[in-house]
Structure 1
Amino acid sequence: MSYKILTINPGSTSTKVGFFDGEELKFSANVSHDASKLAEFAGISDQLPYRKEIILAELEKAGVDLSTVDAFVGRGGGLLAVEGGTYEVNDVILDHARRGANGIQHPAQLGSQLANEFATQFNKPAFVVNPPDTDEFIIEARMTGIKGVYRDSHLHALNLKETAIRHSNLKGVKYEDKNYVVCHIGGGISISAHRKGKMIDGNDIVAGDGPMAPTRCGSVPAAQMIRYAYDHPDMKETLSLTTKTGGFVSHLGTSDALEVFNRAEAGDKEAKLIWDTMTYQIIRYIGSMAAVLHGEVDGILLGGGMVHNKKLVKDITDACSWIAEVTAYPGEFELEAMAAGAIRVLDGEEQAKQYTGEPCWRPES
């Protein structure tokens, strides 16, 4: 049976929506929201009626009949750590999404809320798939050399896992039977180790872990970071280096990866050094994830917007193909991943999971 699915992925100043008939994307739009209008709302969840109205107008203009939709899927922001999978939207999810129970305020919190609004109206199920706080780390991946300080799982889980699932399907194998190093290379960079269907290790993109990225500092020696913080006592400004003002922005004053690459190709020595450093660090982390998998790697998969850059893919391939075959999947599969997760549940291939509000791991466990 071919199910019709509507997917909703809210961002800072826009919301991506996709209408699927089976796995075929029939309509998609990146619905823009007026930044000055968004600024009028006290909190992210207060934006719900405004965003819903704008989305409905766009869908009506495109002739999308929501009464035909079999399930609604939203990005699962604001939740506590969960195992990967498809979760039915329930009251606990909605409560955690509204207040951002994970402590991170991000428009993705609106995903489950918007999906629930439509699902309630048309008496259909609502889901979230592989939320941002998907956490399948092994205990060794969590530990640090400071008692009471742990590494968290903050990665591009939705795209990472969907890339691995799609690659497996193309190869005629099961994701749950294979080991992969999967990368998302875009505004943020996630490098992750997947063992038999579980994402067991990766870099924390929220905490400044992993490779340098366009707006992110990446891993920095602890002592130097502590000294930097003492010299720059504005904590908010210092923390912004991890997600907003680090990486390309700190060195070159821009977050535009294409601009940096073109400057490097045109002979700008500083731009070339920063680009090459990012590439080097990506390769380093791929190697570390391969070691986590004991060298038993069935493929190295590259996704994200920067993977459209053929030189970047070639440089990574030249450095890492001795580990395993490197395959590029440019761009993102986030809308497709949400639709596919819902379809697996509707088809009976997977059972929808229930979000309890209890994190899948606590420090004392």
Structure 2
Amino acid sequence: MAGHILVLNTGSSSIKYELIDVRSRARPARGAVERIGEDEGLLAHHVPGAAPYERKGRFGDHEQGLRAVLAAFREAGPELDPVAVGHRVVHGGTRFTGAVLLGEAEIAAIEELAPLAPLHNPVNVTGVRVAQAAFPGVPQVAVFDTAFQLSLPPEAHTYAVPREWRERYGVRRFGFHGTSCAYVSRRAAAFLGREPSALNLIVLHLGNGASATAVEGGRSADTSMGLTPLEGLVMGTRSGDVDPALAGYLSRVAGLDAAGVEEALGRHGGLLALAGTGDMREVRSRASAGDAEARLALAVYCRRIRKYVGAYYALLGRVDAVVFTGGVGEHDAATRAASLGGLERLGVTVDPGRNEAASDAEREISPPGAEVAVLVVPTDEEWEIARQALELIG
């Protein structure tokens, strides 16, 4: 099939997009709208070989941001005539096990799942509605962050909580970063010259959001994020694992309600809470300058990763590769080394020269002949969304 697929990633305060050529995987255009709802918003639209197109100002909501994206294509090119539009949707609950063509029933189901992802599912639907109006008759395809994780066995996704919570309110582990995990797992297998079904992997997606996933034979066997993306690793602004009694304790001693605690743990926790910034590059810069809080933040961050790697090694029984991806995972050699330090007895080790060599390619950073390969595989969620959309429309 010839043509382009437009991929829309409509986030809580941003819109990222790429136009992808179906045959060559080239990107004729890509861009983002940042800081939606704030006075200092920015749209940056990039076309290879052309001067960047930018528009600054206020984008009051996601609909305004999406209409500005369509205007950028009209004004700066290229011509926008997609064969399909692929949408990243954060939460598909247990209903959506793979990509789906979007009709009114599917859109209504995504809206019904909004309590599980209140910052994302509603704006994901906004993206669908605007795209439907802009491209009538063009297939709209949803690809769900949770879909890859639905292979979790019951002992992995079941919380030890009252039956009513589980059955009436759907309380369980869902997991996220599934689109990235699906792509990275497949690419890691190709790099190693093996079939995905023959490999056990631990995938570490380290970005502003961060997760660890145990992948057994190409399927998710366990993952660190839970009912929401808050559980698990330390992240840019999310705390990751804390004592569940924390909300009750803070209610008693500080007068905080559940919403206040949730807001603090999700938006003001993580590296931001420990080091004053959620940007790993800035944390590392401060640590290098001797900032004790930044050094502690790095130690907490890497220790949590190491703990999950060890736990997932025990669950899998055999690990063929540990795979780093995401902005931090792909570019921060020091974090990779510190996160796996002390696991040599498990056959997991990093070669300093390979690890610190600058590269944007898929690569192995463990010593030659290592018992467990350590890989860096740049993620490409946009292509994974386009690929799944293409498969669905035939």
In the superposition, relative to structure 1, how do residues 83 and 118 fare at CA in structure 2: closer, same or farther (>3 Å)?
Answer: closer
Q: How many residues are treated as equivalent by the alignment?
A: 338
Structure 2 equivalent of residue 353 of structure 1: none
1:1-365 aligned at under 5 Å gives the runs 1-22=1-22, 23-32=25-34, 34-36=36-38, 47=61, 49-67=63-81, 69-77=82-90, 79-82=92-95, 84-98=97-111, 100-111=113-124, 113-115=126-128, 117-118=130-131, 121-132=135-146, 134-148=149-163, 151-204=172-225, 206=228, 208-223=230-245, 226-234=248-256, 235-295=258-318, 297-307=319-329, 308-320=331-343, 322-323=347-348, 324-330=372-378, 332-346=379-393
In the superposition, relative to structure 1, how do residues 315 and 221 fare at CA in structure 2: closer, same or farther (>3 Å)?
Answer: same
In the superposition, relative to structure 1, how do residues 71 and 116 fare at CA in structure 2: closer, same or farther (>3 Å)?
Answer: farther
Is 2:36–2:62's contact at 8 Å kept on the other side of the alignment? no
State the superposition RMSD in angstroms.
2.9
Is 2:7–2:86's contact at 8 Å kept on the other side of the alignment? yes
Report Cα offsets for 1:270-298 as digits up to 9, x if no partner. 22122111101101111212222122x22
Is 1:71–1:119's contact at 8 Å kept on the other side of the alignment? no
Mapped to 1, the partners of 2:85 and 2:146 lie a distance apart of 18
Identity %: 22
Instruction: Tell me the SS of whatever aligns to 1:66.
Output: coil
Structure 1 residue runs without a partner (length 5+): 40-45, 349-365
Mapped to 1, the partners of 2:338 and 2:96 lie a distance apart of 33
Mapped to 2, the partners of 1:339 and 1:126 lie a distance apart of 11
Instruction: Tell me the SS of whatever aligns to 2:70.
Output: helix
Give the number of the structure with larger relative contact order, counting CA–CA contacts within 8 Å between residues 6 or more apart.
1
TM-score (norm 2): 0.76
Give the superposition deviation at 1:342: 1.8
Give the superposition deviation at 1:317: 4.3
Mapped to 2, the partners of 1:225 and 1:116 lie a distance apart of 37
Is 1:72–1:119's contact at 8 Å kept on the other side of the alignment? no
Is 1:97–1:110's contact at 8 Å kept on the other side of the alignment? no
TM-score (norm 1): 0.81
In the superposition, relative to structure 1, how do residues 224 and 66 fare at CA in structure 2: closer, same or farther (>3 Å)?
Answer: closer
In the superposition, relative to structure 1, how do residues 103 and 38 fare at CA in structure 2: closer, same or farther (>3 Å)?
Answer: farther
Structure 2 equivalent of residue 355 of structure 1: none
Q: Which one is further off, 269-278 or 163-172?
A: 163-172
Q: Which amino acid aligns with 2:33?
A: V
Q: Which one is further off, 57-66 or 93-102?
A: 93-102
Mapped to 2, the partners of 1:320 and 1:178 lie a distance apart of 20
In the superposition, relative to structure 1, how do residues 136 and 82 fare at CA in structure 2: closer, same or farther (>3 Å)?
Answer: farther
In the superposition, relative to structure 1, how do residues 53 and 328 fare at CA in structure 2: closer, same or farther (>3 Å)?
Answer: same
